[in-house]
Chain A
Amino acid sequence: MTDYISRHTASGNLFIPRLFQGFPEIKEALISNTMQAGFMVAPMAMALWSQGVPIKIVYLGHRYGSAFVVRNNGPIKTFPDLRGRVVAIPTRFSDERLIVFRALKKYGMTAKDIRMVEMPPPDVAGALAAGAIDAFSMGEPYPAQAEMGGYGRILFKARDLWPDYMSCVLVVRQDMIDKRPEAVQALVDGIARSGLWLEKGRPYREDAADFVGRFYYHQDPRLLRWALTNPLDRVMYTPLTPFKPDFELVRDLMLETGTLDHSIEFNEYVDIKFAEGAKSKTAWAYEPGGLEAR
């Protein structure tokens, strides 16, 4: 979205968006320096940093926007009904997996009670429809896809069990932060402005669904419209500043569930200065369907 609106500004664009279909591929592209920045699930970014990959988390992509989905009219009516069933997650290094652990704990269950399988996000809705899985824990718009298709229903949203839930974060390679901080700041500023723009109301979200669906996600705009407006706070784009307590919660859950082998400190894997620099930014001056932005 930032890219689309940036293209309509006189100052132009400082980055090239590249579409991936899975988080592991983004991880490899960052390690090899094919990508200098990327959006990925927070636990994966933290695990990569702890393993010595030279990246930092600089901003969030959104808040909320993940849900646990089961088959509509299927045998799963409550979470404990999932005993012995198959649940898809995007990767073991994901907040969507951690939310499953939170649910397991809430209902007095353990990871041995279900079978978690990793699956690329674009595949989960089809797998649920085909009966290959019994449930999935995933970010939007895949819960919306299952709802719209009539074969899935949301058992619970991530925010129901995790009030300040966050999922995707923006990571940047350390060499970019060192050599081109102005470019990183421009990227973070653009995301901050896009977030504020989206929070201006329904027409803005509907316009974003249209151009992001057609030009970026290559998905039916009606699907994104559903995910972004049903209801309006289904996915939130402010505040996107990384907060220490949010990341410490993720770290502790990762330690508890075995995806992090030692404790790491917020100030080491997060570079907060770009988020601080973006705090005074205002929403893009771009009207839905407009041709110019400032």
Chain B
Amino acid sequence: MNDSRKVILGVALWVGAVSALHLRLNFDWSVYLNDRLPESQRKLNVAYIPVT
């Protein structure tokens, strides 16, 4: 494998790893999946603020 291929593979692995971590740690799947349900089955999104 030449150097340019190694760089491309390394970058691809890095981008893939960061994207996977982002989707695991930062992405709210419950909201994403809820928004795709029929309206009658959706949970209500309730906004709150960290004040009592």
Contact = CB atoms under 8 A, between A and B. Distances in A.
Nearest to A218: B50
B49 interface: yes
Interface string A89-112: 010000000000000000000000
Given A16-B31, A16-B34, A180-B40, A187 B49 contact: no
Interface string B26-52: 000011001000011001111111111
Contact of B31 (A13, A18, A21, A218): A18
A20 B40 contact: no
Nearest to B47: A38
B49 A35 contact: no
A210 interface: no
Interface string A23-65: 1001001100011111110000000000000000000011001
Nearest to B30: A16
Q: How large is the interface on A (under 10, 10 to 19, 20 to 34, 35 or more residues)?
A: 35 or more
A86 B21 CA distance: 43
B43 A16 contact: yes
Contact of B52 (A16, A141, A179): A141
A29 B47 contact: yes
Contacts of A40: 47, 49
Interface of A: prevailing SS: mixed
B51 A142 contact: yes
A121 B44 contact: no
Interface residues of B, number: 15
Interface string A2-29: 0000000000011111111111001001
A148 interface: no
A38 B43 contact: no
From B30, B40, B49, B52, name the one whose CB has the most chain A CB atoms within 10 angstroms: B52
A219 B30 CA distance: 22
Nearest to A96: B51
Contacts of A176: 44
A203 interface: no
Contacts of A121: 49-51
A169 interface: no
Contacts of B31: 16, 18
A39 B44 contact: no
A271 to B, nearest CB: 15
B40 to A, nearest CB: 7
A30 B47 CA distance: 9
B45 A140 contact: no
A62 to B, nearest CB: 5
A121 to B, nearest CB: 5
Given A16-B31, A16-B34, A168 B51 contact: yes
Contacts of A36: 44-46
Nearest to A172: B44
A5 B51 CA distance: 19
8 contacts: A17-B46, A19-B49, A36-B44, A121-B49, A141-B50, A179-B39, A227-B52, A235-B52
Interface of B: 30-31, 34, 39-40, 43-52
10 nearest A-B pairs in the assembled complex, by CB-CB distance: A38-B47, A217-B50, A139-B51, A15-B44, A140-B52, A35-B47, A26-B47, A65-B52, A36-B44, A37-B46
